[in-house]
Structure 1
Amino acid sequence: MPLRSSKTNQLYLFSSLRKRKFPVHQGAGSHRIGVHVLCFILEGEASLLIDGVLCRIRPFELYLLVPGMIIDVPDRCSLITYYGLFFQPVMLVKEGKKFEGVKSLSLSGAFLPGHIAIRQPQQVLQRLLHMHDQSRGAARADAFSLRLLLEEFISFIITNAPEQREASDERIERSIIYMKENYTGKISIDHLAEAAEMTTTAYSRLFRKMKVASPIEYLNQIRMDKAKQLLDQEDRRVKEVADFVGFRSEFYFSRMFQRLVGVSPTVYMKRGTMKIAVASSLGFHEHLQSIGIEPVCVVDLFQYPGIGEQAYSKQLIEQLSELKRSKCDLIIADHYHLHLKDSFKQIATPYFLDFSVWDWKRNFVKIAELVNREREAEAVLTRLDLSIEDAKRLLHHSMGEERITVMQVSHRAVGIQGKTDHPLNELIYKELALKPGGQVPEEMWRLEIPPEALPVLDTEHLFIQKHHVLAGSEEIFKRMTQTAAWQETGAIQEGNIHAIPNWFVMSWTPLGRQHIIKKLIDLLAK
């Protein structure tokens, strides 16, 4: 049909979202694509010819296939598992006062067939999983809602492409261009406001609103990002890099680099070859192991309740000596070891993670950047998301409306885990979406009570860890089990009580979270 009007809009209609495998049959052959489909690779690697272009297919990549494309498969092709998002582009054409939908083979200019570069595969997967949930079962969303989800997904892909700049005010963008072109020299706030053609006050206010940082903070981050690139190059000197990115003082540059990046420029230059030690009560060595790095030394120097001063002093001396013998270049430490900062400095450069917010994932990503393993970390997080999604479906199918309560019995009190503000709570009640018991706090990370104050627990499954046994948690546990409320709790009567290791610590690392997920499946999936 001829298009007589230039008034057109493109829509994308949702067809289906399925988890599939390719190729269906082994052996060499060609496959002609007959539909529009976005393929997010979950597992498997293979070399395929897509419209004559050799593509190395890898996990966590996204491909757009369109009708007419030819995929050539070699004789021995590894199996690929992927999510296929099938859709139909429609051109909405205005004819006079009416709109008419016409099937379209072409796509919008920024949405091109073939491999689509994505910066955040984890977020792409999360959106696909949400769309998958909304498109299935009795609670399936209507066609309009699914179309909106599809449109949002495509918009997310386009606007978050690696080469894309985030949306901003044109005046702010002009000043950022000025920063990037002149960061090697002296730049004042007046220079930036002039580039934006604004007053200094109005410019500073708008910039902070758009970028959630002051202009000078943003400029310094540009300089530090460039400095990191230069420091990764061989035969670079810190003074040379400092001068190149606009610092006349090597000392001031090093101090700012340390503040923004977490380590000195000299340490950063060795980030791919450093010998790493870990001082942590939260299992941070597993962060390194999950991205393929084995720390040269792992110590835990927290004085746990029940350990006397004499025993702790002996342990402290022994483990500090072990750290020294490891000849490590860097010590990654948590906040439980801050009091040992000066002792660590005598051995190697200490790197303390920020615990003002209990964000296990942010700490993991920071550690990965510190050792030059960002891509590996992204893959680990994406695999973890896949495990969570598979476990969630399996557990929901098995458990139905059954509820779960997690407790920690210490030498002081009985603790009932809440639904929020702790990595374990968020894994169980948010990510796995398991149903909480009746006494699970909504707005607290944990409710602590004396054992005699234990209520009858409205829960079908009870998970308990005895914490600080040396300090007397066994006695608190015994007092709790002697209460009438304990005896009347349904999970106890049915024998659905499970002793667990320290999930509260394990939930701080990807490997620990995988272990918790596997144990929940082993115990609860029928």
Structure 2
Amino acid sequence: MTEQFPFIAETSSLPLLSSMCRVRRGENFRVQGKTVSRPMLCLILQGDGVLVLNDTVYTAQAGSLFVLKSGTTIEAAARSKVTEFILLSMDTVRLQQVRGEWKMTSSPAFPLDWQTGRLLVRHEQQALLRLEQLYETYRGLQPDHFISIHSQLHELLQFLSENRLEANHEKVDPALERSIMYMRRYMSEGISMDQLAKIAGLTPSSYSRSFKKAKGMSPTDYLNRLRIDEAKKQLTEESCVLKDVAISVGYGNEYYFSRKFKQTLGIAPSVYMKRDQLRVATASIMGFHENLASLGLRPVAVLEGVLDRESDEYEQERRLTRQFDQLRQAKPDLIIGDFYHKPYYDRLKSIAPTIILESTDDWKENHIRIAELVGREKQALLNFKELAFRKLEAGLNLQSYFGQKRLALMEITNQFIRLQGTGEHPLNRLLYVELGLHPAQLVSPESSRNEYVADNIPVLDTDYLLIHRTSLQPASEKVFRRMKQTASWHRSPAVLHGNVHDISNWHLLCWNPVGQLQILNELEQIDQQSVVFPQAGLIGH
């Protein structure tokens, strides 16, 4: 079964084509702060760039289809020399049967229950052809022009409806969507698996399997998430009563609600209600204090408790004890820790409620999670947007400078040489996906990074070598000197052409917006330095 336009219901929505246009623009195409007045579809035909819809950042490229609901704010910037797209705007007519007569009113709503954002569909090429055919009909002058364009619009929407995909590229199942609509509408009541399965027209076991495959979680977990999301909205309202919130989202009493809320978010609803006033500390080696700073919040204490196997253990323990003492004295309301600090959870929890964020390769997940915990989600989205446009601008300049030249990243410690691989990591995504630079293949593509002794490094077959030195202690300098005596060093194209540069600790900087901006600035400094001092790196041969 597929989504249908309910033309025979007592209240029905009928989409009508308002206008269509095919837009082609050249270099430096930008859109700043436009607001959509009607529901629209936008199909990218050519080019790529950044598209921001209501402060949510998307990558726009040929074949991408977007839904724009009325009131959507648009910002965009093209990366390509040519950008081409089709815009289709609609009017929605609402038909309502009153005392046996049909009354017609206009509505700003989208005719189907689709959200603003990227619309994933199977058979993208067919969708493109249908949109282009509709555009040609719209431009035509044949006698049945009016009837034909609206008929084609309905067929297009029906085709998109039948071929919609979930975020995990599973086909959207309208039967499951009906059960989700029921969850949303009746979440304040008791909802059983049997009820949901019946609405979807499936047995309970088949329903549960199909739901988990499509949504990545069980129906029970999904319903719990809907309830918690609704509770979060209510908890931010002034003079809300915990007991009333618990009842309105379908939990029997406030104690059960509090337990489920804390299981989901890591903090109690009473803490969540005052989250924008909390005294927050961090326990992280991934720069969570910088995440907070970019959200406009200064942590009351910063703990970096992970031991470095190359440093003196006794001194590290003394430093850790001192940091824990400072943490206690700061009296935080909440401690946010990275997964490296999981072994310290009990010690941290004895000081204040503590949330340890799970390990992830996506730095944005951490940033938005931290923002939610301190009530600054809007600032996090603004950070993502500003950074996306900054990356686009920097990427164009850096691609012009580096071209097809290859980059390699090296770290020098007191004992070892580490070479950055091209495995899944925020730094690699920034450099080689978002900025479009080219990596040297010095280590296995699957590796995050490999470690070597100084006189046994592989051939440094790279055009640019960017080096981070973890310290300037004599031991580290000795490792560096030993490496510079090897044949691998002297044969490196980067060394031969003076393209060896000092950098900061990009491996950690890439985990927050401030750090990513610093990486962009350092890359641009390398570019600018080459203009002033051709073939002169920061590190001597």
| TM-score, normalised via structure 2 length | 0.70
Q: 1:412 to 1:234 in 2, by over 3 A?
A: same
Q: Alpha-carbon deviation of 1:119?
A: 4.3
Q: Post-superposition shift, 1:440?
A: 5.2
CA drift of 1:429 comes to: 1.7
- C-alpha deviation, 1:518, in angstroms: 0.4
Which residue of 1 is the match for residue 124 of structure 2?
none
Report what 2:538 is aligned to.
none
Confirm whether residue 450 of structure 1 aligns to residue 453 of structure 2: yes
1:493-516 Cα distance to aligned partner (Å, 9 max, x none): 333211222111111111001001
Structure 1 residue 345 corresponds to structure 2 residue 349: yes
| Contact 1:487–1:493 (8 Å) recurs in 2 | yes
Of 370-379 and 308-317, more deviation after overlay is shown by 308-317
Q: Paired residue for 1:30?
A: none
Instruction: Return 224-233 or 429-438, whichever deviates more.
Output: 429-438
1:219 pairs with 2:223: yes
Partner of 1:122: 57
The answer as to whether partners of 2:459 and 2:492 remain within 8 angstroms in 1 is yes
Does structure 2 conserve the Cα–Cα contact (< 8 Å) formed by 1:417 and 1:441? Answer: no
In structure 2, the CA distance between the partners of 1:517 and 1:240, relative to structure 1 (3 Å rule), is same
Check conservation: 2:407, 2:440, Cα contact below 8 A. Answer: yes
Q: Distance in 2 between matches of 1:176 and 1:405?
A: 48
Counterpart code for 1:40? V
Paired with 1:272 and 1:319, the residues of 2 have a C-alpha distance of: 25
Partner of 1:63: 35
Are the equivalent residues in 1 in contact too, given 2:306–2:341 (CA < 8 A)?
yes
* 1:272 alignment partner, SS class: helix
SS of the residue corresponding to residue 442 of structure 1 reads coil
The offset of 1:412, in angstroms, is 4.5
Shift of 1:406: 0.7
1:249 and 1:130 mapped to 2: Cα distance? 46
Shift of 1:415: 1.8
How far apart, CA to CA, are the structure 2 residues paired with 1:152 and 1:447?
Answer: 51
2:315 is matched with: 311
Q: Which amino acid aligns with 2:501?
A: H
Question: Is 1:414 paired with 2:417?
Answer: yes
Where do 1:262-277 residues align within 5 Å?
Answer: 262-277=266-281
Please state whether the residue corresponding to 2:53 is helix, strand or coil.
coil
Aligned to 1:278: 282
State the shift of 1:492 in Å.
1.7
Indicate conservation of the 8 Å contact 2:40/2:87, yes or no. Answer: no
Report the Cα offset of residue 473 of structure 1: 3.6
TM-superposed deviation, 1:8: 9.5
Indicate yes or no: 2:31 matched with 1:40: yes
The change in CA–CA distance for 1:130 and 1:411 in structure 2 (over 3 A counts) is farther
Report what 1:334 is aligned to: 338
Q: Deviations over 1:402-447 (max 9, x none)?
A: 2221111234432221223122222112211112225254332213
1:294 aligned counterpart, secondary structure: coil
1:388 aligns with 2:391: yes
Task: Tell me how far apart the structure 2 counterparts of residues 307 and 117 of structure 1 sit (CA, whole Å).
Answer: 45
- Closer, same or farther: CA 332–470 of 1 in aligned 2, 3 Å: farther
- TM superposition shift of 1:196: 2.7
Does 2:116 align with 1:161? yes
Which sits farther off after the overlay, 259-268 or 283-292? 259-268
CA distance in 1, matches of 2:395, 2:299: 33
1:523 paired residue number:
526
Q: Which residue of 1 aligns with 2:198?
A: 194
| 1:243 corresponding residue in structure 2 | 247
- Do the aligned partners of residues 110 and 466 (structure 1) sit closer, same or farther apart at CA in structure 2, a change above 3 Å counting? closer
Partners of 1:398 and 1:382 in 2: how far apart? 25
Contact 1:420-1:442 at 8 Å conserved across structures: yes
Judged with a 3 Å threshold, the aligned counterparts in structure 2 of structure 1 residues 222 and 195 are, in CA distance, closer, same or farther, namely same
User: Is contact 2:310–2:414 with CA below 8 Å preserved after alignment?
Assistant: no
The 5 Å alignment of 1:478-497 reads 478-497=481-500
2:382 maps to what in 1?
379
- C-alpha displacement of 1:117: 9.9
Partner SS state of residue 421, structure 1: coil
* Separation in structure 2 between the aligned mates of residue 338 and residue 153 of structure 1, nearest angstrom: 51
* 2:184 maps to amino acid: K
SS at the partner of 2:396?
helix
Partners of 1:195 and 1:437 lie apart in 2 by 55
Query: Is the partner of 1:14 in helix, strand or coil?
Result: strand
Residue deviations 1:11-49 (CA, integer Å, cap 9, x gap): 6433215546xxxxxxxxxxxxxxxxxx632xxxxxxxx
Relative to structure 1, is the Cα distance of residues 12 and 481 closer, same or farther in structure 2, using a 3 angstrom cutoff?
A: same
Which of 25, 34, 53 matches 1:16?
25
The CA deviation at 1:247 is 2.1
- Give the conservation status (yes or no) of the 8 Å contact 2:418–2:451: yes
Provide the rounded CA distance (Å) in 1 between the counterparts of 2:39 and 2:386: 32
What is aligned with 1:508?
A: 511
Give the Cα–Cα distance (whole angstroms) in 2 for the partners of residues 491 and 171 of structure 1. 59
The runs of 5 or more residues in structure 2 that have no matched partner are 1-15, 43-50, 65-73, 91-109, 120-160, 166-171, 532-541
Residue-by-residue CA offset, 1:247-294 (whole Å, 9 max, x unaligned): 225443323212222322222111111111111111111111112112
Question: Which amino acid in the other structure matches residue 63 of structure 1?
Answer: T
Closer/same/farther in 2, CA of residues 354 and 8 from structure 1, 3 Å limit: closer
Would you say the 8 A contact 1:452–1:479 is kept in 2?
Answer: yes
1:479 and 1:456 map into 2 onto residues whose CA distance is: 15
Q: Judge which range, 428-437 or 328-337, deviates more.
A: 428-437
User: Cα–Cα, structure 1 residues 230 and 133, in superposed 2: closer, same or farther, change >3 Å?
Assistant: closer
Contact 1:306 1:471 in 2 (8 A): no
- Counterpart selection for 1:132 from 65, 78, 87: 78
Tell me, in whole angstroms, the C-alpha distance in 1 between the residues paired with 2:272 and 2:352. Answer: 14
Matched residue of 1:458: which SS? coil
Matches within 5 A, 1:247-266: 247-266=251-270
- Within 1, Cα distance between the matches of 2:405 and 2:177? 53
Structure 2 residue matching 1:123: 3-state secondary structure: strand
| Residues 1:307 and 1:121: Cα distance change in structure 2 (over 3 Å) | same
Identical-residue share of aligned pairs (%) = 33
CA distance in structure 2 between the aligned counterparts of 1:117 and 1:457, rounded to whole angstroms: 40
- Distance change in 2, residues 1:204/1:296 (3 Å): same
Number of matched pairs: 425
Residue type matched to 1:520 in 2? L
- 2: CA distance, partners of 1:117 / 1:500: 31
Query: Counterpart of 1:332 in 2: which secondary structure?
Result: strand
What is the alpha-carbon root mean square deviation over aligned residues? 3.5
Change in Cα spacing, 1:109 to 1:271, as seen in structure 2 (3 Å) is closer
**Residue segments in structure 1 that go unaligned for 5+ positions in a row:** 1-6, 21-38, 42-60, 66-107, 137-145
1:391, 1:517 within 8 Å by CA — same for their partners in 2?
yes
Q: In the superposition, relative to structure 1, how do residues 109 and 338 fare at CA in structure 2: closer, same or farther (>3 Å)?
A: closer
